Homo-oligomer: A and B are copies of this chain.
Amino acid sequence: MANKLLGLSLSLCFVLLFSGCFAFSYRQQPEQNECQFERLNALEPDNSIKSEAGSIETWNPNNEQLRCAGVALSRCTIQRNGLRRPFYTNAPQEIYIQQGCRETFEEPQESEQGQGPRPQDRHQKVEHFREGDIIAVPTGIPIWMYNDEETPVVAVTLIDTSNLDNQLDQIPRRFYLSGNQEQEFLQYQQQSQGQGQQGGKEQGNEGGNILSGFKDEFLEDAFNVNKDIVRNLKGKNDDREGGIVEVKGGLGVIKPPIIRPRQGREEEEEEEEEQQGQHRRPPHQEEEEEEEEEWTHRERRSTRRPRRHHGGGRNGLEETICTIRLRHNIGQSTSPDIYNPQAGKVKTLTSLDLPILRWLGLGAEHGSLYRNAMFVPHYNLNANSILYILNGSAWFQVVDCSGNAVFNGELNEGQVLTIPQNYVVAAKSQSNNFRYVAFKTNDKATVATLAGANSEIKAMPLEVVAHSFNLEREQAWQLKNNNPFKFLVPPRESEVRAVA
């Protein structure tokens, strides 16, 4: 009988990967030697750009662990009545809402639509968001954000610059549609180019938006507006600082709505508006209606019936698109995927939960640990994991393929650490409510554990474990079976007492 044996440990990733289609990674690999770190460090933002109504902090994207992971990070704080000006980015983004009220009310709305040449129809999706939301933003899609509550909004954004949807090089680029502020990652680009080229680029340092560079006549013709408006388009009459501006008195659009269905009249007007060739229509005529129309839409949407497009001539597919979800809450209040009342909980987000993530190739995870509880040693099978600490502190250890601890230290609120794919990580909480969010560079990120009821070692035959680790059978049995938990290990009883 043939006794050449082969053991392979298969995981549920197979379920995920084989469901429907195979899942592939479509990200640029780091450049040669970019992942050969001897030591990882907890990272904090190294720059903050002050704005009229908030600030934008950035982590240096040239840091080796972020370059290895192929991502860039920023954190944006929006004060009350702050409006983050619209911008788009050259790579897919995940935004995690770290802070905001716990309001659960939400109602998506659409404002205006045009019926144009394929593939250029535009839909503006306006949504409420709340703490714990992950917001998925595809490459090149403009986004703006607004906060009119007392509590500042704090949003952490991961830009996946190595995603192949970004066909440019890996520099994070933000394209602001308005204002004259410098885009927040430009400085690092200039740093990395050194002194030589910096001189020639000085004109760029002044800041500006993507319309600033055009000739006035181009913009006058393209928008059919006068020189005064063009000056504003180019950001020239604007002494408000930075990318987040204050809306004095609040955005009118979100004042409490007067809801009355008025579909008949609205349709007529939109039809009219869509006819070509109507130059310079009197500007005030429709203004009030427009605003009401928005609320009418919103009201209709909130009833969650499939809505009919005005004009009626659109198909069912588009209905679906208009309702595609871009947000998913993974915060504390959601039901976790892993839960241990003595240890903590973990909630994962994959493209099975939020289908647009399949396109972005990104996932996420939110977790919490009680004091002295721990995560067993584990690794990410098919993803890098970029940890951002939301609250408290925990002791982390990260080990490379040579058995070296490339990280061995505390991670505190606001710090970032990259866990490279396949590197082994374990952690023990030092706070009562240690919490983190992890951005994962795969839409079906899969974790393999090395200890516990579900681990790779548990899955191996007893004798293979015994001989691999040079253990007695009895010891190997203990190694495989002593920890009955899957992922979260409660504190030892002595530790629980110490805390109590």
Contact = CB atoms under 8 A, between A and B. Distances in A.
A333 interface: no
A57 to B, nearest CB: 19
Contact of A101 (B2, B321, B358): B2
A118 B454 CA distance: 11
A112 B166 contact: no
A47 interface: no
A112 B376 CA distance: 20
A471 B124 contact: no
B277 A484 contact: yes
A354 interface: no
Contacts of A186: 401-402
Contacts of A348: 118-119
Contact of A460 (B69, B86, B183, B215): B86
Contacts of A100: 2, 4
Interface residues of A, number: 242
Contacts of A437: none
A130 to B, nearest CB: 6
Contact of A169 (B34, B142, B275, B383): B34
Given A5-B251, A287-B473, A405-B213, A441 B167 contact: yes
A221 B461 contact: no
A208 interface: yes
Given A9-B124, A170-B32, A119 B290 contact: no
A252 B24 contact: no
A455 interface: yes
Contact of A144 (B380, B452, B460): B460
A248 to B, nearest CB: 9
A374 to B, nearest CB: 6
Interface string A18-46: 11011111111111111110100000000
Contacts of A460: 86, 111, 124, 144
B153 A214 contact: no
Contacts of A49: none
Interface string A478-500: 11011111110100100000000
Given A86-B460, A223-B482, A17 B359 contact: yes
A68 to B, nearest CB: 7
A207 interface: yes
Contact of A450 (B36, B177, B192, B240): B177
A282 to B, nearest CB: 10
Contact of A382 (B139, B399, B474): B139
A259 interface: no
Given A1-B256, A232-B469, A169 B33 contact: yes
B122 A9 contact: yes
A180 to B, nearest CB: 8
Nearest to A278: B484
A143 B6 contact: yes
Contact of A83 (B12, B189, B238, B468): B468
Contact of A223 (B101, B324, B338, B479): B479
A7 B473 CA distance: 61
Nearest to A101: B2
Given A210-B450, A460-B124, A169 B29 contact: yes
A4 B222 contact: no
A400 B479 contact: no
Contacts of A118: 12, 337, 348
Contacts of A479: 223, 225, 229, 233
Instruction: Tell me which of A235, A441, A446, A469 has the highest count of chain B C-beta atoms within 10 A of its own C-beta.
Output: A469
A166 B29 contact: yes
A-B pairs, top 3 by smallest CB distance, nearest first, are A208-B403, A2-B103, A212-B403
Given A28-B28, A168-B421, A178-B469, 8 more contacts: A6-B146, A9-B124, A18-B317, A35-B169, A36-B193, A178-B468, A183-B401, A222-B450
27 contacts: A6-B327, A12-B120, A15-B317, A15-B318, A18-B324, A24-B24, A26-B26, A32-B169, A36-B193, A120-B446, A124-B459, A124-B461, A144-B460, A167-B382, A167-B420, A177-B468, A211-B424, A222-B377, A222-B452, A224-B489, A225-B479, A229-B478, A240-B470, A251-B463, A252-B463, A284-B474, A287-B477
